[in-house]
Every structure is written in structure tokens, then in C-alpha cells.
Structure 1
Amino acid sequence: MQPTITPFPGFSVANDATALREAMKGLGTDEDIIIDILTSRCNSQRQQIAKFFKDELGRDLIDDLKSELGGHFEDVIVALVLPPDEYLCKQLHKAMEGMGTNEDTLIEIICSKTNSEMQQLVDTYERMYERPLTEHLCSETGGNLRRLLTLISTGTRDDSKATNRNEAREKAEALYADGEGRFGTHESTFGSVLAHENFKQLQLIFEEYKDVSGNTIEQALNHELSGDYLEALLAIVEYIQSPPAYFAARLYKAMHGLGTDDTSLIRIIVSRSEIDLGDIKDEFERLYNKTLSSYIDQGETTGDYKKALLAIIK
């Protein structure tokens, strides 16, 4: 996996913290220094800077940034400074608070997590909001989508990498029997299998399904299901088959057409920057014949916001 942000060599927490403080003191703000430092330090180094601000300068780095910045530029910079789990939990909370629910955000974050990654989010969410994540999900979603998200968030997925071809065949036959192989669909079977099996085993199940049915699992899902439940199951399938291609498609969707989904754009770029954003860049160019950087550069993002995104992507 290729990250675009790695630990900065020769890192000096005192030098960086002092430079950031100077960039925000007095009249005017030096946005270039803020971008240069925070987009080229890894998150653990940013946490050290935030701690230095608090312990040595008696200030809150995020509060200072919010007082000096604004708009989507502020959003991306604050996202960089937050610990990764806290940032994703804030995104989950925002998707469920107030009128309406942003199911796309819930699906993207939850359906791409392993059991151990999900447990970290569950623990962080309850610490931050004094409310169990699963209980909040249940109150904001319904039907098969609620059952699927509940299964994943309560840690039912096998977290091993063990695979068994015979069991994969049995599961593929069960999916066919409860979907394409009958009149009417037992929709819960799809959710149960895709929420319980580990990612490696699911790859085998998808291979066996093609052999059993003659159709891909995506074709079967599109034929048998609809709505947010379909989107969630497709997200699991697409992520398992290629995480970089899945997120590249999400980035394209966020920027394509009228208006930009800046929240999703920022979330994906920041949250994947230390994991596989380099691979996502490669997939984006392969899928859309245009580099991610050029797509952002020629899109609706402007000014320091655009500059910060491009600095993260490199």
C-alpha cells in the first residue's frame, strides 16, 4: 500500500509548533506555512505538535486553527489534526445528527472496516459522545440496512484471514438459492454472509458464486435488491475486490456533476493519506484517464482549500 503522507524525517516538534504559532499570531495568517507543515507530517507527529501547543504554549491547536481559518480550508486542516478514529467518529455523528441521515457516509465508513478497525471506532464513539454507536445507528436507520450495519458494528465479522474453498462454495450456493435461484428474495441472507465472513473468504465466495450462477455477485445484487441496502452490500463487494478502486470511484462521484461533495472529498483524502492514497491516485487515473490532482485542480475547489488537498495528494 502506498501512502502519500509518511513520518517527516528530522521532525522537530518545538520548531513546528513555534512556526505554526508564529503563522497565526497578530494580523493576518500565513496559510502557506500551515499547509506546508500539517500536510507533510504524519498524524502521530501532528498529535505531538498539538500536545506541545497545550503543554508548552498553553493553547489549543485546533481552536487556534479554527479562529484563523474558514470554510473547507478549515475543514481539511482540522481533519488533519484530529486523531484518525476521532475524525471518523465525528463524521459518523454528523451523518446521524439533526434532520435526516446521510446513509452514504455511514456505508462508506462502516462497510469498509475489519472487525478490529470497527471495534476501535465503537470504543472511540462511546467515549466521545457517551452513546453506543450501534444504538445510534439503530435509531437512525431501518430495515435490512439497519440489520447489516448493526451486524458489522457489533463485531460479528470473522477477523481472521482463514479461507476454505468448500465452505465458500456452500455459501455461494446458499446466496444463489435465496436470490436468483428462487421467486422472491431472502434479502437477509446476503447481509448475513457479507457481514460475517472475513474479507479473504468473501473473495472466494464471490468467485464460487460466479461459477454457481454464471453472474457476478454485483449482477446478482443489482438484480435482487435495491435502495440503501443494495448500496451497502455493493460497497462491501467493491471494497473487498479493490479498496483503491472503491475509493477512487467515491472520489469521482464526489466531484463529478453539479456541485462538489466536499465533506466526502476531504474525508477520503485525509483518512486514506497514510494508508493507500497513492494507490487510489493510480486507480483514479486508470479508471478516468485523468490524474486525481488535475481533476481537483480543474474542479470547483479553490484557493488554500485546493492547495491543501493537492499538498496531501502530492
Structure 2
Amino acid sequence: MSYPGYPPTGYPPFPGYPPAGQESSFPPSVPPGQGFGVPPGGAGFSGYPQPPSQSYGGGPAQVPLPGGFPGGQMPSQYPGGQPTYPSQPATVTQGTHGTIRPAANFDAMRDAEILRKAMKGFGTDEQAIVDVVANRSNDQRQKIKAAFKTSYGKDLIKDLKSELSGNMEELILALFMPPTYYDAWSLRKAMQGAGTQERVLIEILCTRTNQEIREIVRCYQSEFGRDLEKDIRSDTSGHFERLLVSMCQGNRDENQSINHQMAQEDAQRLYQAGEGRLGTDESCFNMILATRSFPQLRATMEAYSRMANRDLLSSVSREFSGYVESGLKTILQCALNRPAFFAERLYCAMKGAGTDDSTLVRIVVTRSEIDLVQIKQMFAQMYQKTLGTMIAGDTSGDYRRLLLAIVGQ
């Protein structure tokens, strides 16, 4: 797939994304077996919010969420003490629902004119920019960019860059990149220069669909003239490298039907590769977690819980460490509830001192037309506060205004 005119004129190679050497603090430092929504004591399978067995991207339907954590208690790493979950399950709209939808009566030339006026003369009308950018789909933003060049003979991105700076600039640039290019760009940045942003590699490669991954691989080659798999091999090592290379193939089974016999057999194999032996057979975990469909993995996790009297997430914590542990757990979390995974990533980007703005921007932008509605719902359920409230408390100025407009606050 080609992206004419990319890398776009006006973008520096990787404007401030993420600052060199600044590693995300995700996941937070918690005792073994308690990360990623796993309740203390390792009894965590039922603790991670689980969606119904429908696939993501299906038709909208009102479905109940499960009752919550064992004994109605939330894990200790959640803020606000130990509040109980509501006795009646909440409902969540299942399916593909972003907070940004294509604008009706869209006129690219008119929007280009609004942006031109907002940047003309002294000062910048940031509110006018926010009003346009936050209320158009990515496809519509590409049309605005083309209309701007047609009408004024100037590059919209260059003009925006000259008017903006810091986090606001990074957010605007991200919104104007085509989604596949943005993912490829983020991966390239994560491996460029000294050090590697492993959390970015995990977040993108372990959560995207087969089609998305294949398009990212093609875009990475066409736009940066590099082979993504080779870059991963040169920047990572060991079992983490093998997991990411597996993810790069975009060959996960996407059949939505569940083979319960296979789930039982896989659960047994995983137990024998980990808890049931001295040492760990890492290749067995890699093979099953890299190839099985998400619904199939969910069934395997249920079978494992029944058989081992321990959930698979906590077993992975006991058997692995470092980035391969994070990658394997990310796959399992996406099998359980992809919006809950992104909700936790957002929370960790903002909790404590300082904000991981690059992660905040990347998730809000990449999920804004896919499942940000569900992410917001899971965020409120998991942390007893809204995503908008936390963003408002952690950001400021036009950057905050645009983020809140995107999340629909």
C-alpha cells in the first residue's frame, strides 16, 4: 500500500516522539502476580474485566459486563481503596465504536479555509483548529490536507508546525497521519537511535489485527526503505525478539469459532511447559499465544484456570520476566478484553508524577475511530473515575482542550 507524499513535507523525521531515552513506566512496579489487573494472591483470571464471547468489530449489541473481582473487591493497585463493584452488571456497547465519526456535510475546501484563517496574521485561533480537527475522521483530514495545498499552494502540516509546539504539535501531527503510517512511524521511532522503546513495539504489534500488521509491514518498507522484521531482530533479542517476529507475520488464526478440545489440550501443554516442570519451555508459550485466535485463547485461559487452579496471566508472571512477559500478557489481555488493556495503558501513562504524553497521544489517536467508547467505559469501571477527568487533571491549555474533544468530553 502506498502513501503518496509520505513522509509528508513539513514533518521532521520524528518530532519529539517519544523523547530519547524516556521509557514508559508501564506496567507500574507492583509485586509479582499483581500487574495487569491481577488481584493480589494470583487468583486473577476473573479479576480482569472480560467481554462477552463475541468478536470485536461485530454489530452493536447491548451486552452485560461480568460482575467483577472475587468477593466484589478491586485489586489493591486500583486507586481509591477497595470499593465494591455494583451488584447489577453495567452494560457496554459491544462492537466497533470510536468517539470520532466522519462529519456529515463535509466540505474539505471549507475546512481548509477555516484552518487558513485560523493561522493567518498575528496569533493563532487554536479553538478553530480544535473544532475542525477533533470533529473529522482521519480520511476527512487527508482530504483537508489535499484541499489546503490545492487552494493555497502550501503544505498544511508545515503551516501547522510553524504555529504550534510541544504536545499540541505532536497531537496535531499524529491526527493528520494516515493510521497505518502512524503505526509504522511509531515503530520506526521506537527503534531509531540509542535505546529501544520496547513498550511501543509491544503495544502496536501485540494488539493489531492481521490485516493491520501486514499493512504496517508494507508501509514500513515503502516509506522508510527498511524491513520491519530485520529492524526488530537487530534491536531486540532472545524470546522477546522471537515473540515480536511472530507478531510481525500477521498470521494469527482469526476464525471466531472455538475448539474446546484444543483449548483443553493447549491449557495442558502450557501447564506442562511452565508450572508443571522445572524451568520453562518458552517456545510452547510463543507458539500457542502467537497463533491461536483471541476467542480460542480466551477458552484456553478458562480451561487453564480450571485445570491449574491458577490463572494463566499469573503463571506467565511466574515463568517470565521483562519485556517478553509484558508481550505475552498483552496478548492474553487483548484476548480477554482489548479495551481494558488500553484503559490500563492510559491510566499508567498518567498516574503518579509526570505524564507519558507520547503514549497518551498515541492511544487516544489510534483508538479514536475504533473502540475509544469502550475504552472510556472500561476506564471508568476499572478506576472509578472518567478518562476525561484524568486527562483534564494531567494536561493543560490547547493540548488538553483537543484531547478532551477527541475523547468526547
**Which TM-score band (shorter chain)?**
over 0.9
Q: Are the counterparts in 2 of residues 297 and 306 from structure 1 also a CA contact under 8 Å? A: yes
- Per the alignment, residue 136 of structure 2 pairs with 41
What is the one-letter code of the residue matched to 1:81?
Answer: F
- Per the alignment, residue 406 of structure 2 pairs with 312
1:118 aligned onto 2:248 = no
What is the one-letter code of the residue matched to 2:396?
Answer: T
- Per the alignment, residue 227 of structure 1 pairs with 322
Query: How much identity, in percent, do the aligned residues show?
Result: 45
What is the distance in 1 between the residues matched to 2:362 and 2:144?
22
1:262 aligned onto 2:357 = yes
Farther off after superposition, 67-76 or 160-169: 160-169
Please state how far the C-alpha of 1:114 moved relative to its aligned partner.
Answer: 2.0
Pairs aligned (count) = 313
- Per the alignment, residue 291 of structure 2 pairs with 196
What is the distance in 2 between the residues matched to 1:252 and 1:51?
36
2:230 to 100, 120, 135: 135
Please state how far the C-alpha of 1:169 moved relative to its aligned partner.
Answer: 1.3
1:94 to 186, 189, 200: 189
RMSD of aligned residue pairs (Cα, Å):
1.1
1:164 to 240, 245, 259: 259
What is the distance in 2 between the residues matched to 1:2 and 1:159?
20
What is the distance in 2 between the residues matched to 1:197 and 1:63?
44
- Per the alignment, residue 36 of structure 2 pairs with none
Summarize deviations over 1:28-60 as a string: whole Å, max 9, x none: 111111111000001111111011122332221
Please state how far the C-alpha of 1:78 moved relative to its aligned partner.
Answer: 1.1
What is the distance in 2 between the residues matched to 1:120 and 1:160?
20
1:28 to 123, 128, 131: 123
What is the distance in 2 between the residues matched to 1:161 and 1:289?
32
What is the distance in 2 between the residues matched to 1:22 and 1:183?
68
What is the distance in 2 between the residues matched to 1:69 and 1:140?
33
What is the distance in 2 between the residues matched to 1:114 and 1:46?
23
- Structure 1 stretches of 4+ moved >4 Å: none
What is the distance in 1 between the residues matched to 2:182 and 2:251?
24
- The secondary structure found in structure 1 opposite 2:266 is helix
Please state how far the C-alpha of 1:198 moved relative to its aligned partner.
Answer: 1.4
- The secondary structure found in structure 1 opposite 2:146 is helix
What is the one-letter code of the residue matched to 1:307?
Answer: R
Q: TM-score, normalised by structure 1?
A: 0.97
Please state how far the C-alpha of 1:162 moved relative to its aligned partner.
Answer: 3.6
Query: Which residues of structure 1 form unaligned runs of 5+?
Result: none
What is the distance in 2 between the residues matched to 1:199 and 1:114?
10
What is the distance in 2 between the residues matched to 1:160 and 1:46?
34
Please state how far the C-alpha of 1:107 moved relative to its aligned partner.
Answer: 0.4
Q: Are the counterparts in 2 of residues 284 and 292 from structure 1 also a CA contact under 8 Å? A: yes
Q: Pick the structure with more helix per residue.
A: 1
- Per the alignment, residue 32 of structure 2 pairs with none
Q: Are the counterparts in 2 of residues 116 and 159 from structure 1 also a CA contact under 8 Å? A: no
Summarize deviations over 1:255-304 as a string: whole Å, max 9, x none: 001110000000000110001111111111111111111111112x1111
What is the one-letter code of the residue matched to 1:304?
Answer: D
What is the one-letter code of the residue matched to 1:122?
Answer: V
Q: TM-score, normalised by structure 2?
A: 0.75
What is the distance in 2 between the residues matched to 1:258 and 1:223?
29
2:307 to 212, 219, 227: 212
Q: Are the counterparts in 1 of residues 294 and 334 from structure 2 also a CA contact under 8 Å? A: no
What is the distance in 2 between the residues matched to 1:211 and 1:289?
30
